[in-house]
Amino acid sequence: MTDNDKRARFEGTIFLVLFCLTIPAANWMIGHVGTVCAANGPCLVPVAPGIMAPSGVLMVGAALVLRDLVQRRLGVEFGIGAIAAGSAISAGLAPPSLVIASAIAFLLSELADFAVYTPLARRRLVIAVVASSTVGLIIDSIVFLWLAFGSLEFLPGQIIGKLWMVLLAVPFVAYMRRRDERLGLKAA
């Protein structure tokens, strides 16, 4: 195994651990982090002027990007494995009333992310991450809100909050692509 292979595997492992941590972090944030925390309700953060969202959406946006990076470093098999593990973690940590909505939304959004990311990633990494994450976050928001509450009332806040995290990751993803080219690192 070359030094580049070791580096890619090490980075992939870090991305996988961070990906798995986003799910408990999202669940914790919903009850503990926000500018407004409703009694027996979610803590909210502003995501745009006049638009609030549950704070956990920030971690969901990060999860979509991290899953792409897991696949880039460790391969398709690990990308699919991360989706399965993330879905199980999501189901295991969600409040009982939201288990089905949380697990199904996570599974469908990550599979959509995978379907968009995979064909684009080799040629246009940054576009692949942004496009796949955007598709994933829209699906996650719609499915979760509909299954959990039967309403899409909070859809704009959900989408905007997740999109902020994707956009914040773009400079890192662009740096990674440039560094990979310079070092001769190949995507898995």
User: What is 3-183's CATH topology?
Assistant: Arp2/3 complex 21 kDa subunit ARPC3 (1.10.1760)
d(CA 149, CA 53) in angstroms, rounded, equals 15
d(CA 65, CA 145) in angstroms, rounded, equals 21
How does pLDDT run along the chain (188 residues), one tens digit per residue?
888 889 999 999 999 999 999 988 888 888 889 999 888 778 899 999 999 998 989 999 999 999 999 999 999 999 899 888 888 887 787 777 677 888 899 899 999 999 999 999 988 999 999 999 999 999 999 998 899 888 898 899 999 999 999 999 999 999 999 999 898 877 77
Confidence (pTM): 0.90
Backbone φ and ψ for 163, nearest 5 degrees, come out as -65, -35
| pLDDT, position 101 | 85
| pLDDT, position 116 | 96
Cβ neighbors of 178 (< 8 A, separation 6 or more) are none
The CA distances from residue 137 to 44, 58, 79, 131, in Å, are 18, 11, 17, 10
d(CA 142, CA 186) in angstroms, rounded, equals 35
From the CA atom positions of the chain, what is the Rg in Å? Answer: 16
